[in-house]
Amino acid sequence: MMRRKISILPVLVVLIACSCATTKYPKYVQINAQGEDSCLFKQITTEGHLLPGPDVIKSKDKIRWYTGSLFDVSSDGENISYIAQTGTSDESIYVKSLTADTNSVRRTFNVMAANPRFSPDGISICFSGTLIGQENSDICIIDTDEGNAVKHLTDRQGGHDSAPVFSTDGEEIIFTRGLPVQKIDGSKITVTWHYSIWSTSLTEPGTKQFIEGSAPDYLFDNKILYTKTNQATFQGEIWVYDLISGTDSLILCDAGRGFSTPRVSPDGQRVICTGQTKGKKGEESNLDIYLFNIDGTNLQQITFHPGTDASPCWSPDGNTIYFISQRGNINGDYNIWSVNLNMTSNTLSK
C-alpha cells in the first residue's frame, strides 16, 4: 500500500514521541534474532540522526506501510544517501561515504525531502520534495557533491509525486504520482488516494502516465518493477511493466501477506523487497526483507528480527544488502544496516 507520507507524518511523530518516553522495546536491543545466527550485521548510520521509517500501521493480523524507498547506495558503492532529522531541522538528504570514515554531509535545506535515489553516474540525486508551508510534493534533483540548489522537475498543484528512480541511461525519471479522489455520499465526503506510475524527462518538458501502482524500480530494456495492491485481497504484489509495449505481468503474490518496494540486483537475476512476516502465536506480524528470483521463484526470507526491517537496497557487487531496521536499540529507532548475503543460511522456500 502506498500512503501519503507528509500528511500522516506529524501524527505519527506525536504518537512516537508520547510512547517512547514510557515504552521500551527490549527485543529490539538484540542485533541478531533467532534465524539470523550466521549473519554479520553492520550498522551504517548513527543514532545521532533520526531516520524516518516506513510508517507501519498494524491492525490485528494486517499491516499497512509506506512503500517508497527510504535511501539509496550509489552504483559504485562509494556513497549512501538517506533522509534524516537532526535537532529541529526538516527531513533532509544526507550523503555518507561507505569507504571512508567521514561524517555525513547534509545536502538539502528548506525543503522536506523523501525517497532519494542516485543517478547511474552518481553525480545527481533525485527525490520527492515538499516546500515548507506546502502540502504537495514534486520530483526534484540536486547535485550529489554540491547539494543545496534544488531543481523541481514536476510541479504538482495538488497531490504528491514520490518514489523516483532514474532510467538506466540517466535521461528519464520514473516516479509515483498520488492524486486525491473525492466521493460524495449525501453530506459525507470521503477522500481516497489513487497511485500510478509516471515519468518525466531530464531533457524535455512534460510528464507521461503509465499504469496504476507505486514504488517503481528500473529493470532493463525499458521495463520496471513496481508494487500494486490486489483489490480482492488488499495485499501488495510485485509486478513487471514494459514501458514500451504497455504489457504487465505478475511475478510475486500471496493472498495472506503483502510485498512491496522491489529492488533488482545488479545482474538483473534477483529481487529484494519488503514483505510481511506473520507473527507466531501471541506475536504481532512485522516486516522483513525477502529475496526471490526475477521470475518470482525461490522466495527466501532474509531477516527475522521482531522489529521492522524494510526498504532494502543492493551493493554494486550483489553480495551485500542494505536496509532500514529498528534492531540494535531499545527505543525502536531506525538506522541503516547491512548484511552479506553469503552469510545468510536460513531460507523460506516459496
Does 203 reside within a domain? yes
Domain count, the chain: 1
Residues 228-256 have a mean pLDDT of 95
Q: Is the pLDDT of residue 222 over 80?
A: yes
Closest by CA to 73, choosing from 313, 266, 273, is: 313
Query: What is the per-residue pLDDT across 80-125, written as a single tens digit (0 to 9) for each?
Result: 999 998 776 789 999 999 999 899 999 999 899 999 999 999 999 9
- Considering only 19-23, 207-211, 220-224, which range has the smallest mean pLDDT? 19-23
Separation between Cα atoms, residue 15 and residue 21, nearest integer Å:
11
More confident residue, 187 or 326: 326
Does 33 reside within a domain? yes
Residues 225-249 have a mean pLDDT of 96
Full residue range of the structural domain in which residue 249 is found: 5-343
Closest by CA to 167, choosing from 128, 196, 203, 211, is: 203
Q: Residue 340 forms beta bridges with which residues?
A: 320
Q: What are the two backbone dihedrals, phi and then psi, of residue 179, each rounded to the nearest 5 degrees? A: -125, 135
Q: Is the pLDDT of residue 2 over 70?
A: no
Computed over every residue of the chain, the mean pLDDT equals: 87
Q: Residue 82 forms beta bridges with which residues?
A: 71, 94
DSSP state of 77: S
Query: What is the per-residue pLDDT across 159-190, written as a single tens digit (0 to 9) for each?
Result: 899 999 999 999 999 999 999 888 888 888 88
Count the Cβ atoms, other than its own, within 10 Å of residue 98.
16
Does 348 reside within a domain? no
pLDDT of residue 268: 95
pLDDT of residue 184: 86
CA distances from 281 to 38, 255, 278 (A): 25, 20, 9
Does 245 reside within a domain? yes
Query: What is the per-residue pLDDT across 125-149, written as a single tens digit (0 to 9) for each?
Result: 999 999 888 889 999 999 999 887 8
- Rounded to the nearest 5 degrees, what angle is found at the Cα of 265, between the Cα atoms of 263 and 269? 115
Does 112 reside within a domain? yes
Q: Is the pLDDT of residue 208 over 70?
A: yes
DSSP state of 3: -
Q: Is the pLDDT of residue 217 over 50?
A: yes
pLDDT of residue 60: 66
pLDDT of residue 23: 54
CA-CA-CA-CA dihedral for 147, 73, 31, 296, to nearest 10: 140
Query: What is the per-residue pLDDT across 328-347, written as a single tens digit (0 to 9) for each?
Result: 988 889 999 999 988 665 54
Question: What CATH number is associated with residue 256?
Answer: 2.120.10.30
Res. 4 pLDDT band, cuts 50 70 90:
very low
Separation between Cα atoms, residue 315 and residue 338, nearest integer Å:
9
pLDDT of residue 281: 73
